[in-house]
């Protein structure tokens, strides 16, 4: 494989979408640091196929055909002495100019990998039926080894070989359940695990207070306020006088979004509601997106916030997510996972 400078990629195909990775070096043990996200319907089966490309190395076979025996001529030689005339001799003498030379024959054989791969480079395939793994990966990652089969190899006579195991593919799977149609799910296993850890059930009363800047709800532009979170109630106060100005009912919230790529999308849509993202539209929002987060509600409403520091942002997100989880009127994917954990 090293001499051939082989590389390979992997394609995930669920019958609707195909996602292909870039090429990486093909070795006896190779690694692909790639993650795929698939929406699960009533059934989910998908195929993982691998293709290769390499520097082809045709083999030149040289065969030396021995020369036939040299042509031999027979002629008489006579002695100058008279008496020797009675004893005429015949000598076998090979003529050098008629001696044939060995023949070198060359035969070019195709690269030995060409009989093992398809015309497009396919050489291995694994099949996954989601139903076989669902119980083991509900809200938690699981690592599995899948057998990969070569379905394209041919024999020396060019007939197709029966599929055979060519290697093992190790994959990590995690199923994230959706609690509501408008819920935004994590886009990676790492993000999902961090969210689960942050929202681990607790019996402690939730109370947080501090400053946040708000856009949305009763604020048509960024406004800095003093907030107090108690249970499922988030109360906004005037920055200067600390007088109550508005109350946000987190019992109706469904999701907290903190992913920077989601916050900075130009247009945000929840259900049928669409509006421009405050973090992409305003200069202040773009400057503080690293300290920002968004609360989304079941009716499609969205309110954006940003804290003074990243540490304060983490504290607020932790408190708001716990409030949402504890609300009997609101469900999220993390609450479904925690409920299942408690029942097992």
pLDDT at residue 91 tops 60: no
Q: Does residue 200 carry a pLDDT above 90?
A: no
Is 161's pLDDT higher than 70? yes
pLDDT at residue 80 greater than cutoff 60: no
Taking 80 as the threshold, does the pLDDT of residue 328 lie above it? no
Distance, in Å, from the CA atom of 246 to the CA atom of 234, rounded to the nearest integer, reads 9
How does pLDDT run across 204-234, given as a tens digit for each residue?
Answer: 567 899 999 999 899 988 999 999 999 889 9
Q: 45-54, 106-115, 122-131: lowest mean pLDDT where?
A: 106-115
Q: What is the mean pLDDT of residues 27-40?
A: 85
β-strands 7-13, 45-53 pairing: antiparallel
pLDDT of residue 171: 93
pLDDT score, position 71: 56
- Of the given ranges (182-186, 197-201, 247-251), which has the lowest mean pLDDT? 197-201
Query: Where does 189-343 sit in CATH, by number?
Result: 2.30.29.30
d(CA 266, CA 215): 15
* CA–CA distance, 236 with 226 (Å, rounded to integer): 6
Q: What's the average model confidence in pLDDT over 239-262? A: 90
Structure tokens, 31: 């690694």
Pick the range with the lowest mean pLDDT from 60-74, 138-152, 307-321: 60-74
Closest by alpha carbon to 189, among 207, 208, 175, 200? 175
Task: Give me the helix-helix angle, 310-326 and 189-198, nearest 10°.
Answer: 70
- pLDDT digit string, tens, across residues 92-105: 544 555 556 666 66
User: Higher pLDDT residue, 221 or 183?
Assistant: 221
In this predicted structure, the answer to whether residue 176 has a pLDDT above a threshold of 80 is yes
What is the rounded distance in angstroms from the CA atom of residue 149 to the CA atom of residue 165? 4
Instruction: Report the b/e string of 94-113 with b at 16+ CB within 10 A.
Output: eeeeeeeeeeeeeeeeeeeb
pLDDT at 229: 94
- Topology of 7-57+111-173 in CATH? Immunoglobulin-like (2.60.40)
Domain ranges for the chain, please list them: 7-57+111-173, 59-109, 189-343
The proportion of the chain whose per-residue pLDDT surpasses 70, expressed as a percent, equals 77
Provide mean pLDDT across the span 36-44: 77
- Given this model, what pLDDT does residue 288 score? 87
Position 180 pLDDT exceeds 90? no
Write down the pLDDT at residue 106. Answer: 60
- What's the whole-number average pLDDT of the chain? 82
């Amino acid at each position: 494989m090293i001499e051939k400078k082989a590389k390979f990629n992997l394609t995930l195909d669920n019958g609707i979408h195909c996602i292909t990775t870039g090429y990486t070096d093909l070795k006896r043990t190779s690694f692909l640091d790639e993650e795929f996200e698939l929406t699960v319907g009533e059934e989910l089966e998908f195929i993982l196929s691998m293709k290769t490309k390499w520097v082809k190395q045709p083999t030149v076979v040289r065969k030396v055909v021995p020369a036939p025996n040299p042509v031999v001529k027979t002629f008489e030689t006579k002695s100058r002495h008279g008496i020797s005339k009675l004893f005429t001799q015949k000598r076998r003498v090979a003529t050098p100019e008629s001696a044939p030379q060995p023949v070198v024959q060359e035969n070019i054989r195709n690269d030995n990998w060409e009989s093992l791969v398809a015309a497009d480079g396919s050489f291995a395939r694994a099949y996954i039926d989601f139903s076989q793994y669902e119980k083991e990966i509900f809200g938690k990652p699981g690592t599995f080894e899948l057998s990969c089969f070569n379905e394209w190899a041919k024999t020396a006579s060019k007939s197709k070989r029966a599929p055979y195991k060519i290697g093992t593919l190790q994959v990590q799977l995690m199923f994230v359940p959706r609690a509501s149609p408008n819920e935004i799910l994590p886009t990676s296993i790492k993000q999902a695990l961090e969210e689960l850890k942050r929202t681990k059930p607790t019996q402690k009363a939730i109370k947080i207070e501090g400053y946040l800047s708000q856009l949305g709800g009763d604020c048509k532009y960024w406004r800095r306020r003093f907030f107090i979170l108690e249970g499922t109630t988030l109360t906004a106060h005037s920055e200067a006088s600390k007088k109550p100005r508005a109350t946000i009912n987190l019992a109706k919230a469904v999701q907290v979004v903190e992913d920077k790529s989601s916050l900075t999308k130009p247009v945000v849509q929840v259900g049928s509601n669409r509006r421009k993202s405050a973090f992409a539209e305003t200069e202040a929002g773009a400057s503080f997106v690293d300290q920002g987060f968004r609360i989304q509600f079941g009716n499609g409403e969205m309110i954006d916030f940003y804290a003074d520091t990243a540490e304060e942002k983490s504290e607020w997100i932790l408190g708001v997510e716990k409030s949402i989880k504890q609300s009997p009127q609101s469900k999220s994917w993390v609450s479904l996972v925690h409920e299942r954990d408690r029942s097992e």
